[in-house]
């Protein structure tokens, strides 16, 4: 192992020193085929861990294990017991928080400061929040018009759920999916992203330590095409909860059609960040740079399209560009790093393709566009700002998923609304103004699941998250998030 490991805590060093097997039925086991894959450090391109590579047979075994655990009584366990275990798990993650921050920073490239501040606390927060719903998901009595009849509903766990997650917030997305599924009484098979399997596997160890019954949580890393597809098409899986690209979301829907399993989808975005002429440009410049460059722009909710009124465009572009060029880019594990490398060579090439396409279609790079000086290895890219962008350009339409801001201007409110909604996505939107009447009116016209007024990246496990249009199906988090893992049964009683 030639990477710099000295800053790693002992538990992380020990964890990385062995090939990491799957968690199936409470046991740690290698792939049936013996296959493994390697995890690369995006800051160097070097291998730092080896992980078992899930095939169809492994997914079968994991689904069988989850089915047995469901039938053995997890579904009927008192909500208070599920709540206790979820809280115990939250406490354990908190006690091992630095390990998760290091594993995710190393695996995905993200700044460790961000993992410490956002990813890990958010993961803990989801387990705590959904522990509360474990005792509160309830049905209703319905005032039916049939004389002498009682009708009531109960919410039952949906069954065995496949959880498929991306690489941009690894432990956080594991928690965002595990917590509501487990609180509702489902059992699960989790397939983390190939690029970032490690924190999910470490989480599996803490799930064991917390005392969850064997088989309630099974974790099988592997490729999307094989392990992910096997899970999505599995005849004994009752639901797939997926976070990832819109393109793969379509494949999940097709694969789920065989047994008509339920599907919830958190997909891509192309969020507009809207600036009205009265906004405080200093505040907006900071926020607009943060909205796009946090997590290297590898965020579904990244503020990728800055839609600024033409009267303040020049000033704001210059201010954002100044901030972009001042961002400290470096390895995620370096404590002063503000932006890390992209997750992989493939992602760097993909984003590079968008830079070429923007230039070819007539947009202009104000700052960035190249490899940062002094970072010769790894998948690094400078924070980049494009202006002279037209709404029809590929860079204004497609999700870039990298540190690339496209700036467009608008002249009146109808022009603004048209441009803001002019993509196939509908995940998030931001509005900056001191005119709150206008802000509420604009919020109503946004085709987006979340609208941030004078803020960006405000989240809470209690607040629903999900997309309009091609950004997804369903709402994760909040009461709706827990209910997504239940079926509603309507019971009629003839009292006559
Ligand atoms: P991705 O390529 O769609 O992959 C997501 C997950 O699906 C990975 O675990 C992947 O496995 C798996 N997968 C790939 N092909 C599959 C198939 N045919 N069947 C089943 N599973 C399959 O997305 P990504 O590149 O990891 O993440 C970036 C995308 O996620 C962006 O589009 C982003 O907007 C979206 N995202 C959305 C949200 C939201 O809340 N709406 C949040 C974060 C990210 P591999 O690891 O092998 O590829
Ligand atoms: Mg990796």
CA-proximal residue: ligand 1, atom 12 (nearest): 224
Distance 284 CA to ligand 2 centre (A): 33
Distance 222 CA to ligand 1 centre (A): 13
372 lines ligand 1 (CB under 6 A): no
266 lines ligand 1 (CB under 6 A): yes
Distance 446 CA to ligand 2 centre (A): 36
222 lines ligand 1 (CB under 6 A): no
Per-position DSSP letters for 125-147, written without gaps between them: HHHHHHHHHTTT----EE--SST
pTM (global) more than 0.95: yes
Atom in ligand 1 nearest the alpha carbon of residue 164: 9
Residue with token string 């505040």: 283
CA-proximal residue: ligand 1, atom 23 (nearest): 244
Helices then strands, counting H and E runs in the chain, come out as 17, 20
**Residue 362 backbone zone (phi > 0: left; psi -120 to 50: alpha; other: beta):** left
pLDDT digit string (tens) for the chain, length 496 residues: 333 434 899 999 999 999 999 999 999 999 999 999 999 999 999 999 999 999 999 999 999 999 999 999 898 899 999 999 999 999 999 999 999 999 999 999 999 999 999 999 999 999 999 999 999 999 999 999 999 999 999 999 999 999 999 999 999 999 999 999 999 999 999 999 999 999 999 999 999 999 999 999 999 999 999 999 999 999 999 999 999 999 999 999 999 999 999 999 999 999 999 999 999 999 999 999 999 999 999 999 999 999 999 999 999 999 999 999 999 999 999 999 999 999 999 999 999 999 999 999 999 999 999 999 999 999 999 999 999 999 999 999 999 999 999 999 999 999 999 999 999 999 999 999 999 999 999 999 999 999 999 999 999 999 999 999 999 999 999 999 999 999 999 999 999 9
CB 344 within 8 A of CB 379: yes
Lateral strand order in the sheet of 305-309: 364-367, 384-387, 404-410, 305-309, 272-275, 428-432, 450-453
Distance 93 CA to ligand 2 centre (A): 21
- What CA–CA distance (Å, rounded) separates 466 from 448? 9
Q: Please, how many CA atoms are within 13 Å of residue 377, restricted to the half-sphere of its CB?
A: 9
Residues 6 or more apart whose CB falls under 8 angstroms from that of 192 comprise: 165, 167, 170, 174, 199, 200, 201, 219, 221
Atom in ligand 1 nearest the alpha carbon of residue 245: 32
Q: Residues 200, 204, 206, 211: what is their CA dihedral angle, to the nearest 10 degrees?
A: 150
CB 386 within 8 A of CB 404: yes
The residue whose CB lies within 8 Å of the most ligand 1 atoms, and thus the one to mutate among 104, 108, 243, 248, is 248
The residue whose CB lies within 8 Å of the most ligand 1 atoms, and thus the one to mutate among 122, 191, 224, is 224
Structure tokens at 274: 């809207």
Q: Please, how many CA atoms are within 13 Å of residue 389, restricted to the half-sphere of its CB?
A: 30
Distance 279 CA to ligand 1 centre (A): 36
99 lines ligand 1 (CB under 6 A): no
Q: What SS3 state is found at 490?
A: strand
CB 240 within 8 A of CB 256: yes
Q: Cβ atoms within 10 A of the Cβ of 121, count?
A: 16
Distance 200 CA to ligand 2 centre (A): 12
Q: Which residues are catalytic?
A: 266, 300
Ligand nearest to the CA of 231: 1
Give, in degrees to the nearest 5, the angle at Cα 95 between 89 and 99: 100
Structure tokens at 460: 């809470």
Ligand nearest to the CA of 107: 2
164 lines ligand 1 (CB under 6 A): yes
215 lines ligand 1 (CB under 6 A): no
Q: Which helix (H) or strand (E) holds 38?
A: strand 36-41
Q: Cβ atoms within 10 A of the Cβ of 360, count?
A: 10
Distance 166 CA to ligand 1 centre (A): 4
pLDDT of residue 2: 37
Terminal CA-to-CA distance of the chain, rounded, Å?
A: 76
Ligand nearest to the CA of 254: 1
CA-proximal residue: ligand 1, atom 45 (nearest): 224
- What CA–CA distance (Å, rounded) separates 370 from 316? 22
CA-proximal residue: ligand 1, atom 26 (nearest): 166
CA of residue 317 relative to chain centroid, distance: 29
Residues 6 or more apart whose CB falls under 8 angstroms from that of 163 comprise: 174, 177, 178, 181, 188, 189, 190, 191, 240, 241
251 lines ligand 1 (CB under 6 A): yes
Nearest to 300 by CA among 381, 345, 244, 355: 244
Residues 6 or more apart whose CB falls under 8 angstroms from that of 472 comprise: 249, 264, 265, 266, 267, 427, 449, 466
270 lines ligand 1 (CB under 6 A): no
């Amino acid at each position: 192992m030639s990477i710099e490991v000295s800053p790693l805590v002992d538990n992380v060093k020990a964890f990385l020193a062995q090939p990491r097997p799957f968690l199936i039925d409470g046991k740690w086991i290698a792939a049936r085929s013996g296959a493994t894959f390697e995890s690369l450090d995006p800051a160097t391109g070097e291998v730092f861990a080896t992980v078992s590579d899930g095939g169809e047979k492994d997914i079968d075994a994991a689904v069988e294990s989850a089915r047995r655990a469901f039938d053995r009584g997890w579904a009927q366990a008192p909500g208070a017991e599920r709540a206790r275990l979820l809280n115990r798990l939250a406490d354990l993650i908190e006690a091992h928080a630095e390990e998760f921050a290091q594993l995710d920073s190393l695996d995905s490239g993200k700044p460790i400061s961000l993992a410490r501040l956002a990813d890990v606390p958010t993961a803990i927060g989801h387990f705590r929040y959904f522990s509360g719903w474990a005792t509160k998901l309830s049905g209703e009595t319905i005032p039916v018009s049939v004389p002498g009849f009682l009708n009531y509903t109960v919410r039952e766990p949906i069954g065995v759920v496949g959880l498929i997650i991306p690489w941009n917030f690894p432990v956080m997305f594991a928690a965002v999916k595990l917590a509501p599924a487990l609180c509702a009484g489902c059992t699960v098979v989790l397939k983390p992203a190939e690029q970032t399997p490690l924190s999910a596997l470490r989480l599996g160890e803490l799930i064991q330590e917390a005392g969850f019954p064997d088989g309630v949580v099974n974790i099988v890393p592997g490729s999307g095409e094989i392990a992910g597809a096997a899970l999505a098409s599995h005849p004994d899986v009752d639901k797939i909860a997926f976070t990832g690209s819109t393109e793969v979301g379509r494949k999940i829907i097709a694969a789920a059609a065989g047994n008509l399993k339920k599907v919830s989808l958190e997909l891509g975005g192309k969020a507009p960040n809207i600036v009205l002429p009265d906004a405080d440009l200093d505040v907006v410049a900071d926020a607009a740079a943060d909205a796009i460059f946090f997590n290297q722009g590898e965020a579904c909710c990244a503020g990728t399209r800055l839609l600024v009124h033409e009267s303040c465009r020049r000033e704001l572009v210059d201010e954002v560009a100044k901030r972009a060029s001042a961002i400290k880019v470096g390895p995620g594990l370096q404590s002063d790093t503000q932006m890390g490398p992209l997750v992989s060579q493939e992602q760097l090439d993909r984003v590079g393709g968008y830079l070429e396409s923007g230039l070819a279609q007539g947009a202009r790079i104000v700052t960035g566009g190249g490899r940062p000086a002094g970072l010769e290895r790894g998948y690094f890219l400078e924070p980049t700002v494009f202006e002279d962008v037209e709404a029809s350009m590929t860079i204004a339409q497609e999700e870039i998923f990298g540190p690339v801001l496209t700036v467009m201007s608008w002249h009146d409110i109808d022009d603004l609304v048209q441009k803001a909604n002019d993509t196939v996505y509908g995940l998030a939107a931001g509005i900056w103004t001191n005119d709150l009447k206008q802000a509420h009116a604009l919020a109503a016209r946004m085709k987006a699941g979340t609208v941030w007024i004078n803020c960006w990246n405000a989240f809470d496990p209690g607040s629903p998250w999900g997309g309009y249009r091609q950004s997804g199906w369903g709402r994760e988090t909040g009461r709706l998030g827990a209910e997504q893992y239940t079926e509603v049964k309507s019971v009629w009683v003839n009292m006559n």
